[in-house]
Amino acid sequence: MGEGLAPEHLLAAFLDSPNVQLHTLMEQLPGLLWTTDRDLRITSNWGTGLAAEEFRAGTLAGQQLGEFLESADRHASPIAEHVEALKGVFSQFEYNWKSRVLEIRVGPLRTKSGEITGCLAMAVDITDRKRTEEQVLYQARHDALTGLANYRELMDRLEREVRRAERSHQCFAMLLLDLDDLKRINDLQGHLAGNRALKRLATVMKEHCRVTDLAARYGGDEFAVLLIDSDTGMANNVAQRIESRLRTDAEKPALSVSIGIGVYPDDGRTAAELIEAADRRLYQSKKSSSSRIVSAP
């Protein structure tokens, strides 16, 4: 199947080919090709099948399309696109079917005079390709060592939260965390111990984040947490729980963090202003002998 080739053009190419047996060629099509009548009842099918399921030519004939594709809603995919095809509209879309992802192309099936008598559609299983794409995207947006979001994902999410908060007039908070004495751990015990320390902090951060929050490695020994729909009090509570959990951890070497807090909109209405406020307080916390957490007064 050529990229972007409409189903009716694909079928026409087969019918016009003088050098192959049409039946054999249709049976060897990758994926599944089917036609329907105007009532969306399958009238024919060809191809090698989908995923682990094989369908011999013609075995689906007589079934309602919604029954085969397990969808009865005429206003939702994939039925909605077939309804549009009956109006002359071509569609290409993805559809989740039996734990697989299908790429479906559907268009009108016409007679030689141009009358639309049904639909012509083709589906290809793209599950493996989607998994690969998702894995590549995940790796591009996550830190390989800790599994947390990376700087790029953090900044994109922060910008989105600023825009959302502008519309909803809700507040949110940002924590900047610095793992204390990482250089000393690396110098005395080696970089493997330093890496374990970074991963320990990442684990504690994830333990104290809600599903809606985002824990990220900001860079080097610096980390960040976006706390959605949170105020200064909630941010302080999370910071204290992270600090306390590390302080009571029996694993060696003992770890501690310095934390600075920035809250939207009190500390700024842009991503840069919030980072600056949190970073300023992080610096204050590192200099403080009484508290490792500094937030807005």
Please give the positions annotated as active site: 221
Q: How far apart are CA 225 and CA 269, in angstroms?
A: 17
Q: Which residue has the tokens 């005395």?
A: 188
Nearest to 149 by CA among 189, 106, 206, 89: 206
State both tokens at 295: 């937030």
End-to-end CA distance of the chain: 64
Task: Count Cβ atoms below 10 Å from residue 20 Cβ, excluding itself.
Answer: 11
What are the percentages of helix, strand and coil residues in the chain, rounded to 5? Answer: 40, 25, 35
Task: Check whether the bond before 78 is cis (ω within 30° of 0).
Answer: yes
**Strands lying side by side in the sheet with 91-97:** 42-46, 32-37, 116-125, 100-110, 91-97
Query: How far is it, in rounded angstroms, from Cα 257 to Cα 284?
Result: 13
Q: Are 208 and 263 in contact (CB under 8 A)?
A: no
